[in-house]
Copies of this chain bind each other. A is one copy, B any other.
Amino acid sequence: MQKPSIPKGTRDFGPAQVARRQHIFNVIRRTFESFGFAPLETPTLENLSVLTGKYGDEGDQLLFKVLNSGDFAKDVTAEDLATGSKALLPKVAEKGLRYDLTVPFARYVAMNRGTLTFPFKRYQMQPVWRADRPQRGRYREFYQCDADVVGTDSLLCEAEIVLMIAQVLGGLGLHDFTIKINHRGVLRNIYQALGGEGRETDLFVAIDKLDKIGRDGVTKELLERGFSAPIIETLFELLGVEGDYEEKLARLLAGFVTAGVEPDGTRPDDDNEEAAANYRGLTELATVRDLLVASGFKQFDRLEFDPTLARGLSYYTGCIFEVKINNVQMGSVSGGGRYDNLTGSFGLPGVSGVGFSFGVDRLYDCLEALDLFTATAETPTRCLITHFDGASGRAALPLLAQLRAAGIPSELYPDATKLQKQFKYADAKGIPLVIVLGPEELAAGVAKIKIMASGVERVLPLAEVVAALTV
């Protein structure tokens, strides 16, 4: 007899967990839809030709590959076997499991370019799979919730990302958060202020580690990459500007002017004359802030312009975002940014857009750590009808039907058994109300209602029960 188990890095979600996760999904979905994002779902299985090469070498290794069906080994030769797994792979597997939601979205846009109306705003909430080493907060099967707009470069999209993040976190009861925002143009200007050109990526990658390895670590890495000590000094001066959002913009502007960085032009449709002159990154960050003010956004104490935010992924080209919950020890729960070329590798160049993602599993862990979940019941049932025998059970059926019709999820205990056992069932499942309908109650035409949390009991005429519970 086998002892059953589930693969490492995967989880079963019992009733209470599913209810809590659904709560998170609902808040995110409601917010996305309120902002006009439409749902998209793509298959779990994608062709490996679509997935491979999109996530770097490490990503390719973390892809779950699916064996071809039927006689999968029929084309494998002894030489293939001798060469090893890498040579074998293309002969035995042509499909893999979704690794993120961005590549399938890009594939979808490229495949449906002819029928989509742009700007195209889509959200997607689906699981992804990575053959990563499982550890605390890292799973092999986990959910992402992405929202992207493609086909417009309006900065309204960036402002609305901030609004959506604040709305989702507020909706979940998370109030102590920081939305960090930066712009790849700012990082590029900083790099130009150092007198360099063309090696921004090196710099972004090093700065991205500031959080983890600190200033000393980054300094060491930059020295190794050939940057000089005075340059690194200037770098940290610029990265370390102090003040609020607008003060930092002004100080960086002064720093760029002093360093002789050439302006790179405003955006053609930008009408914010007072924005931070002609450096695109600073201008756009100023515009995003203005749009937020105009939208009635009030939480500027939770929006931090952080010139050290780099986000490793090299495809970002404009604003970038990252969100932390401050009162929990946890990595970022959301992040994203603007990119210039989503679908280029699928034959459709020039599709730019901006998007962001929530990590549901991390949000779940934050809410649990802060004890913010209210739903703890093991069942949706609000009301259990108990009974004594077949006759009183049968007499309860009309009431059961009325309760359900009134929108109150309800159960009749299915077996005629001791009342104590039926109450124990309600207790174990977290059912808040128990109706006792025994021979006595039936004879008197009443029902006894017990509120489980307080132990309070009320006796009501049978005909008034539903009305009393729906008030």
Contact = CB atoms under 8 A, between A and B. Distances in A.
Contacts of A108: 12
B5 A296 contact: no
Contacts of A11: 43
Contacts of A378: 38, 117
Nearest to A344: B1
A110 interface: yes
A294 interface: yes
A41 B12 contact: yes
Interface stretch (A85-93, A219-227, A258-266, A331-339): A85-93
A15 B39 contact: yes
Interface in A260-307: 269-272, 290-291, 294-296
Nearest to A346: B4
B67 A112 contact: no
A164 B22 CA distance: 22
Contacts of A254: none
B110 A295 contact: no
Interface string A361-387: 000000000000000001111000000
A318 B270 CA distance: 72
Interface stretch (A408-416, A441-449, A453-461): A408-416
Contacts of A111: 4-6, 12
Contacts of A157: 414
A72 interface: yes
Contacts of A3: 347
Given A45-B140, A76-B81, A414-B154, A269 B390 contact: yes
A447 B449 CA distance: 53
A66 to B, nearest CB: 5
A467 B468 CA distance: 32
Nearest to A118: B425
Chain A interface helix/strand/loop/mixed: mixed
Contacts of A65: 66-67
B429 A117 contact: yes
Interface stretch (A228-236, A237-245, A322-330, A398-406): A398-406
- In the complex, the count of this chain's copies comes to 2
Given A50-B4, A380-B33, A398-B295, A45 B93 contact: no
Given A15-B122, A429-B117, A38 B379 contact: yes
A47 interface: yes
A302 to B, nearest CB: 17
B47 A5 contact: yes
A102 B22 CA distance: 22
A199 interface: no
A212 interface: no
B13 A97 contact: no
A298 to B, nearest CB: 11
A44 B6 contact: no
Contacts of A67: 64-67, 89, 92-93
A204 interface: no
Given A42-B12, A81-B81, A398-B296, A34 B409 contact: yes
Nearest to A65: B67
Contacts of A428: 117
Given A4-B50, A34-B407, A73-B85, 19 more contacts: A4-B347, A6-B43, A6-B107, A7-B46, A10-B43, A12-B41, A12-B112, A13-B42, A36-B381, A36-B411, A64-B69, A72-B85, A73-B81, A73-B88, A78-B78, A117-B429, A154-B415, A296-B397, A296-B401
Among all A-B residue pairs, the 4 with the closest Cβ atoms: A15-B38, A154-B414, A10-B43, A36-B411
21 contacts: A1-B345, A5-B47, A6-B107, A7-B43, A7-B95, A12-B108, A18-B38, A18-B41, A36-B411, A38-B378, A38-B429, A65-B67, A66-B67, A71-B84, A73-B88, A119-B414, A157-B414, A272-B390, A290-B394, A295-B397, A296-B401
